[in-house]
Structure 1
Amino acid sequence: MLGFIILVLLGAIWGGSFLFMRIAVPSLGPAYLIELRVLFAALTLTIIALITRRAINHKGLTKHYLILGLFNSALPFLLFAYAAQYVSASVLSVLNSTAPFWGVIVASVWLKQDISARTLLGCLCGLLGVAALVDLQSMPSFSELLPILAALGATLSYGIASNYTKIAPKVGAFDNAHGNLWASTFLVIPVLFVQPIPTATEANTVLWAVIALGVICTGVAYILYFKLIDLMGAAQALTVTFLIPLFGIMWGHMFLNEPIGPNTLIGAVLVIMGVMLVTGVKVQQFLPWRQRVS
C-alpha cells in the first residue's frame, strides 16, 4: 500500500513540474529557470545527505556525472523549459511520456538491441499519439512545431541517458542523482550568458514556482523514486509514466485554465498505450490490492 501511495504522489509531483515551468518561464526565461531548478535540487540532496550522514561517492566520477548531467537533466530541462513558453502543461506532460520510445530506439541503434514486434507496435501508438497532440491535419508551420520538437528532443535526451547508465560506471542511485544535478548546475551556467537577465514580475508567485520545481519536483522526487524502486522494483516503478500525463492535464486545467480538447485526450491515451506495449508493464501491477506482501 505504501508503494501505491508513493507512486500516486510521485505522479502528481512530476505532473506538476510542467505547471510550475509554465508559471515561471515567462518571467525568468528557460536558462535562469533551469539553473535555479537544478541548483535548488542539488542543494536539497546535499542537505539530505548531511542530515542522514550519507557518504557521497564522487572520486574519479567527474566525467560520468557531466555526461549524465548533460543528458539526464541539463539538456532535457532546458528543452522542456523552452517548449513551456509556447506549449500547454497538458501537452508537455503527455510528450514527456514518450521517453521509453526513444529509449528502445537508442538501444537499437547504439547498443544493437533487437526490437520486438510488440515494441514496434508501441512506438507506432506513441507516434500516432504525438500526431494527435500536434493535430497534423491543421498543417502547423515549422515555427509552431519547434516547441514540440524541443520537447521530443528532451525525451530523446532521457532515452540517451537511460542507455548510457547501462554502460556507465556502477554508481548508487542517490550518488548518481546528486552528482548529475551538481554537474547540471555547472553545465547550464554558460547558457545564462545567451539569455538576457530576466526582470521578474509577480515575484512571489515565480519564486514559489521555482522552489517547488527544484526542491519538490526534482530533489524530493528523486528520493521518492528511489524509495519506490526499493518497494516495487524498477519495472513496476516505471508505471509512474502513466500517471504523469493524467496529473499534468488535471493541474493545467485546474490552475491555468488550459482547455482539455479531444486531441489531448486521444493523444494521451495513445501514448500511454504505446508506453505499456514498449515497457511490457500492465496497469494491474501498480494497483494496491495487487502488491505482494513481503
Structure 2
Amino acid sequence: MAVHATAATLPAPAADRWITPVEIGVLGAIWGASFLFMRVAATEFGPAALVELRLALGAIVLLPFLWRARASFPLRLWPKLALIGAINSAVPFLLFAWAAERAPAGVGAICNAMTVLFTALVGALFFGERIGLARSVTLAIGFAGVVVLASGRIAGADIGPAVMAGASAALLYGIGINLVRRHLTGLPATAVAPATLLCAAILVLPFGIAQWPERMPSMHAWTSVVLLGVLCTGIAFVMYYRLIARVGAARASTVTYLVPLFGVAWAWWLLDEAPTLRMAIAAALILGSVALSQRKT
C-alpha cells in the first residue's frame, strides 16, 4: 500500500518493544488481505464501484483526524490534494481492482512491493535524488522480477496485462509519495490520508455510479468490500501512522516485505490460488531488490 507522509520518531519504551513486531505483522496481514478482498469483490462489483466504496469507507473511518486538523487545510490546498488523491489513491486502486479480475490475488500483492523501488526511481528522475550505482542495480533486479512475473501464465491464462496494471499502480504510488514529501510536508499525516481519500472518492464517484452492477452483489462480496474499505484502508492507515510515530518511517516500512507474503498466503489458503514457481522467483527478485535498496550506503 502507499504511504502518505512521515512523522517524527519518538523513543519506544522498553515495555513496548515486543508490540512493534506484532503490529508490523498484523499490518502486513491486513494489507496482504486487501488483495484477497479485491479478488473476491471485483468480479461482482467491477473496478469502479468497488474502488468508490473502498475510498468512501476509508475516508469515513479517518474523517475525525481530518476534522481535528481542518484549520491546516485551507481551500487553496484542496486542488493539490485532489491531484495527489488521483495519483496516489484513485487510479492505482482502480488498476489493482482491474488486475484482481484477471489474475490471482498474490500477483497484485507482489506487484505492490515495487512501490519502494518506484519511489526511489521517481525521486532520481524528477526530483534530483541520487541513487548511486548499487541502488540502480537493485532497481534493475526488481524490474527483472516484474518481467518474470508478467511472462507467466496461470491456469492457461496470460497474466501479463494484470501484472502491468499492478506495476503501473506501484509506479503511481511512487509518484504520489514523492509529491506528498515535497508538497504536503508539515501537515498531519493522519489528516492528509483522509483528505486525499475523500478527494479520490469524489473523482471516482461518477464512474462508480455509471458502472454500478445491475445485479445486487452477494453478501460475500459486500463483506469483502466493507473489510477492504474499513479495515484495509481506514484502520490500517491509523495503525501505520501510529507505528511511524513510535518507531520511525524506516522501521515501519518493513511491512513492505510482509504484504506479498501474506497476500500469497491468504489467496492460497482461502481461494485455493496456489503460488507458481514463476511467482516465487518474481517475488524473490522484487523483495530481494527492495531489501538491498533499503540498505544504507
* TM-score bucket of the superposed structures, by smaller chain: 0.7 to 0.9
* 1:211 to partner: Cα distance: 0.5
Matching residue of 1:240: 255
Q: Distance in 2 between matches of 1:64 and 1:227?
A: 25
1:118 maps to which of 96, 119, 134? 134
Is 2:55 the partner of 1:38?
A: yes
* 1:134 to partner: Cα distance: 2.3
Q: Which moved more, 1:224-233 or 1:112-121?
A: 112-121
* 1:137 to partner: Cα distance: 9.8
Matching residue of 2:34: 17
**Moved beyond 4 Å, runs of 4+:** none
Q: Distance in 2 between matches of 1:248 and 1:144?
A: 17
Aligned CA distance change for structure 1 residues 137 and 94 (closer, same or farther; 3 Å) = closer
Matching residue of 2:211: 195
Q: TM-score, normalised by structure 1?
A: 0.88
Number of positions where the alignment pairs a residue of Structure 1 with one of Structure 2: 275
* 1:196 to partner: Cα distance: 5.5
The DSSP-based 3-state class of the residue aligned with 2:129 is coil
Q: Distance in 1 between matches of 2:188 and 2:97?
A: 28
Q: Distance in 2 between matches of 1:73 and 1:254?
A: 28
* 1:147 to partner: Cα distance: 1.9
Between the aligned residues of both structures, percent identity stands at 33
Is 2:137 the partner of 1:130?
A: no
Matching residue of 1:5: 22
CA contact (8 A) 1:29 1:195 kept: yes
Q: Distance in 2 between matches of 1:156 and 1:198?
A: 33
1:27 maps to which of 44, 48, 51? 44
CA contact (8 A) 1:28 1:199 kept: no
| RMSD across aligned positions (CA) | 2.1
Q: Which amino acid aligns with 2:121?
A: I
The DSSP-based 3-state class of the residue aligned with 2:163 is helix
2:293 maps to which of 275, 278, 290? 278
Q: Distance in 1 between matches of 2:202 and 2:127?
A: 29
* 1:74 to partner: Cα distance: 0.5
1:22-171 equivalences under 5 Å are 22-46=39-63, 48-49=64-65, 54-56=68-70, 57-60=72-75, 61-135=77-151, 144-170=159-185, 171=187
Aligned CA distance change for structure 1 residues 146 and 176 (closer, same or farther; 3 Å) = same
CA contact (8 A) 1:121 1:277 kept: no
CA contact (8 A) 1:32 1:192 kept: yes
Q: Which amino acid aligns with 1:208?
A: T
